[in-house]
Structure 1
Amino acid sequence: MASEVETSTLIEHFVLAVCDPGRWKGVDRLAELDLSVAQARVLFSVVQHREPQPIHIIADELGLSMTAAGRNVDRLVRLGLLTRQESPTDRRVKLVGPTEHGLQLAWDQIAIHRATIDQVVARLPDALRNDLCEVITAVLESGAVHRVAAYPPAPSGDNS
């Protein structure tokens, strides 16, 4: 039986091999906007929700202070990636949601990663692909990892 360390190491190697940052074509779009890692995390957090979220929920979800979350939201609003509006039920609460531009940017990033994953999956023999699917399904259903809301289906292919 594999130890926790062995399993963690294998997962790390697998994720880094599939999502090799040196080959990310889409990261250039984020760099063009001069987004920090924290701002990108805020954007993806907001996009994964179906409804606009209060800033304090975003801060809690990402482990940021309210001040840091607010600064990141401000920058993303100025870039036209997020909107901020008063809650209809409590004027003290600001709700943050994605703009069409913000949604498209996030979906484009997901599509780029999806294309890379599709290439790996296409090279797997059928039996290994089935085994991998069963294992990943079991891990997701176990509750051991946080499941995020699904993004729209990402088209396969080169999205550079």
Structure 2
Amino acid sequence: MPGECEVSSGAEESVNAASSALNTFLDRLIDLSRPEALESLAATEITFSQLRILSALGCHTGPMSVNAIAEQVQLSLAAAGRTVDKLVCGGLVDRREDPTDRRVKRISLTDGGRRYLETHLAVKHETVRHFVANLPADMRDELCAALRPIVDDAVDHFCLPDRIGTPE
């Protein structure tokens, strides 16, 4: 039908425009927090790979195997194992045998690892707060009004499909 292409094209334009605006906004917001985030990272002598593993563990509901960690952070099994070893030595993660299969080691955050992530995230949260505080009041209200329905919706808009970037 001739009208379908126009509707589809309009929806595609809308998606492209919103994606572009949001990506530009997020890139600029990340640029604001980059110096503090890098300073925080450098001050603790944590490598980027270690931070990625800590973040993966922080987002996971329970202990993870080294295989699962390697897959999630896209490191080789050997590199993930070495990185976990360093985190264990630093007291940020704990490694225990799986109760059902002693060959599998389960990795979890220690209290120190959780505190590290909370401190690292606090830097980012403060950057966002500072940005929002410097917006004019009307823009702040409009930003809140635009975001609130997305984050408060009964539908979880943050659940991404498994096949991001693959054609349907």
Kept in 1, the 8 Å contact 2:33–2:124? The answer is: no
Q: What corresponds to 1:58 in structure 2?
A: 69
Query: 1:142 deviation in Å?
Result: 6.2
* Count of residue correspondences: 146
Corresponding position: 1:35 with 2:46? yes
Please list every run of at least 4 consecutive aligned residues from structure 1 whose deviation after the TM superposition is greater than 6 angstroms: none
Q: Give me the TM-score of the superposition, normalised by structure 2.
A: 0.72
1:106 aligns with 2:122: no
**Per residue, is there more helix in 1 or in 2?**
2
Consecutive unaligned residues of structure 2, counting only runs of 5 or more, are 1-9, 163-168
State the secondary structure of the residue aligned to 1:31. helix
Q: Structure 1 residues 70, 112: closer, same or farther in 2, change over 3 A?
A: same
Q: Secondary structure at the match of 1:119?
A: helix
Corresponding residue SS for 2:85: helix
Residues 29 and 119 (structure 1), Cα distance of their counterparts in 2 relative to 1, 3 Å cut = closer
SS in 2 for 1:84: strand
Distance 1:118 1:145 in 2: 30
In 2, Cα distance between the equivalents of 1:69 and 1:23?
A: 25
**In terms of Rg, which structure is larger?**
2
Q: Between the two proteins, what is the percent identity of the paired residues?
A: 31
Distance apart, 1:26 and its partner CA: 4.2
Output the TM-score relative to the length of structure 1: 0.75
Q: Which runs of 5+ in 1 are unaligned?
A: 147-160
Q: For the aligned residues, what is the CA RMSD?
A: 2.6
